[in-house]
């Protein structure tokens, strides 16, 4: 639990942005968003496997954020465990993939995205409260209201999760070079290489920003097993903050 809290605190210092925010995902990739709406567990399975570079030996149930993580036989049958996760713990599977991408590429969650996700959770809790009150009181009007809130909460949940999964897919398309080569920062002239005894030169290429895959003001995490694998396109030397 302490490690998870520490990870959440570190994510607050990330400076990179998602390639597409939640409000723009439908327009950015409409077919995949529809696929995520109609078959969300399948989308979650494919995205998690892709986020792991198709190396299921790295898979941990719910990304290691649940008490059962690492104790579900992932090492023996990771594909089956992932199938079970996306069907029985769908919300956790989407969140785990999101955290995995944020930690790998140092992506922050914008305030707008936080508001959308928070609204989804609040609506689900409100629907649950209405259902409990309706069962206790036995009022038909409250029961009808609770059913309406449950439907609205389910629709919001499905919509937001589909947008989140589309956001993850677009980010991995960017990672794998499907948008073409990312712009690289130009090398400054030789006389500008030393900044100890001369003024800071004007920015060349993109403004000075942290490299994609390197935390802002935080030591880079060790890359286990040499990921990404050699078969995947390597990230650009400088992944700009802007989209």
Per-residue pLDDT of the chain (243 residues; tens, 9 = 90+): 566 666 666 777 788 989 988 889 999 999 999 999 999 999 999 999 999 999 998 998 888 877 777 777 788 889 999 999 999 989 889 989 999 999 889 998 777 878 888 888 888 888 888 888 888 888 788 888 888 888 888 888 888 899 999 999 999 999 988 876 665 544 444 444 334 344 444 444 434 444 444 444 444 444 444 566 666 666 554 455 555
What is the reported pTM?
0.69
Place of tokens 């398309």: 173
Q: String of b and e for 129-145 (b: at least 16 CB within 10 Å)?
A: ebbeebeeeeeeebbeb
Integer Cα distance of 203 and 190 in angstroms: 14
Q: What are phi and psi of 107, to 5 degrees?
A: -100, 130
């Amino acid at each position: 639990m302490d490690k998870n809290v520490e990870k959440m605190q570190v994510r607050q210092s990330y400076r990179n942005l998602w390639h597409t925010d939640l409000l723009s995902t439908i327009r950015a990739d409409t077919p995949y968003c529809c696929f995520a709406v109609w078959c969300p567990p399948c989308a979650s399975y494919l995205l998690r496997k892709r986020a792991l570079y198709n190396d299921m030996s790295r898979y941990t149930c719910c990304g290691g954020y649940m008490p059962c993580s690492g104790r579900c036989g992932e090492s023996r049958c990771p594909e089956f465990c992932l199938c079970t996760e996306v069907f029985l713990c769908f919300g956790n599977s989407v969140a785990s993939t999101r955290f995995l991408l944020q930690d790998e590429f140092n992506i922050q969650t914008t305030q707008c995205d936080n508001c959308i996700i928070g609204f989804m959770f609040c609506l689900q809790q409100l629907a649950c409260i209405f259902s409990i009150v309706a069962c206790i009181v036995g009022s038909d009007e409250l029961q009808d209201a609770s059913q309406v809130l449950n439907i609205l909460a389910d629709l919001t949940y499905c919509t937001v999760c589909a947008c989140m999964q589309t956001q993850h897919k677009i980010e991995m398309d960017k990672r794998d070079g499907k948008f073409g080569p990312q712009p690289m920062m130009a090398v400054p002239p030789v006389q500008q290489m030393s900044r100890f005894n001369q003024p800071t030169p004007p920015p060349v290429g993109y403004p000075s920003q942290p490299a994609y895959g390197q935390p802002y003001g935080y030591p880079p995490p060790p890359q286990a097993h040499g990921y990404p694998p050699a078969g995947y396109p390597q990230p650009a030397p400088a992944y700009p903050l802007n989209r």
